[in-house]
Amino acid sequence: MNLRNLGKSGLRVSIAGLGCNNFGARIDLEATRKVVDKAIDLGITLFDTADIYGNKGGSETMLGAVLGDRRKNIILATKFGMQMETPEKKGASRRYIMSEVEDSLRRLRTDWIDLYQLHEADPRTPIEETLRALDDVIRQGKARYIGCSNVPAWGVVEAEWTARSSGTNKFISTQNEYSLLARDIDRDLVPVVEAYGLGLLPYFPLANGLLTGKYDRAKPMPEGARLTGNQRLADRLLTDDNWRKVEKLTEFAITRGHSLLDLAFAWLLARPGVASVIAGATKPEQLDQNVKAVDWQLTAAELDEVDKITGAAY
């Protein structure tokens, strides 16, 4: 498994990461153990979770239970900021950060978090307060690096310059939805990533399964699949425009001896700033497919052709 530096930091992560949002929600402890074991066997080092995943705390708890001594061999990333058990348990204030990092450490059964990420912007808290609190978390040894997620481009720029002016540690990464079917961040966030040397961690790289190749609009929806059981997601993703793109992208991949899933990973790894592609899994065999996919290196001509298919004009 190849490694890449996360932005300009010295933190190196596997180019295929494991999203842990299914743990404690869609799969139980034993199924989680099998997925984690397989990921480690395949050389995946980046495990990305959040305090809210797994019905608020379940994912972190399960990771803490199954990692054991192997925790020191992986890069453990988690997030804070979205509402937990009660309305006041959310945000990015100093008071909340200092409390929630302790809760995450307890659930994860670890003394430190490799990458501690603000899960969403908190409009009620000045970014300087957030960064100074996170700087203290690093200085106390409870986190090694900090990042953000779901923060708009202007907010990432504000955080960058606030950190520079206040002398605090800064965000080394940003995590946002990004895929062949979700390219909005090409307009503003990707240029910011390039300008400031941030690492980009795409989530939903397979568009909630639409880029796995298992869906076909001419056939019934597969039983038990994510989009089959989630009408809200299905309405958002299963549009005529997306179906046309999926069909053309599938043909593009097959004519080159690859799958649509291969293309989804390979394209992201060719994008500016992308350090690792985070994909969830409910079964160990899904990880085999993900790891195989990262071997394809697209040419400049192939990337141009993908841009034409996806209608990118950024």
Q: Catalogue all structural domains in the chain, each as residue range(s) with its CATH number.
A: 3-209+260-299 (3.20.20.100)
Which residue type does 226 have? Answer: R
**Residues that are catalytic:** 53
| pLDDT score for 219 | 77
Is residue 201 within 8 A of residue 195, CB to CB? The reply is no
Structure tokens at 169: 């540690």
Nearest to 117 by CA among 230, 258, 278, 234: 278
| pLDDT score for 231 | 80
Q: State the Cα angle at 121 between 107 and 273, rounded to 5°.
A: 85
Overall residue count recorded for the chain in this entry? 314
227 Cβ contact partners less than 8 Å away, ≥ 6 residues apart: 208, 209, 210, 215, 221, 233, 234, 237, 238
> DSSP labels for 198-247?
-EEEEESTTGGGTTTT---TTSPPPTT-TTTS-HHHHHHH--HHHHHHHH
pLDDT in tens, the chain (314 residues): 899 999 999 999 999 999 999 999 999 999 999 999 999 999 999 999 999 999 999 999 999 999 999 999 999 999 999 999 898 999 999 999 999 999 999 999 999 999 999 999 999 999 999 999 999 999 999 999 999 999 999 999 999 999 999 999 999 999 999 999 999 999 999 999 999 999 999 999 999 889 988 877 877 777 767 777 778 877 788 888 999 999 999 999 999 999 999 999 999 999 999 999 999 999 999 999 999 999 899 999 999 999 999 986 55
| pLDDT score for 313 | 52
185: DSSP letter: G
State how far the alpha carbon of 267 is from the alpha carbons of 43, 178, 207, 241, 263, in Å: 21, 11, 13, 19, 6
| pLDDT score for 69 | 94
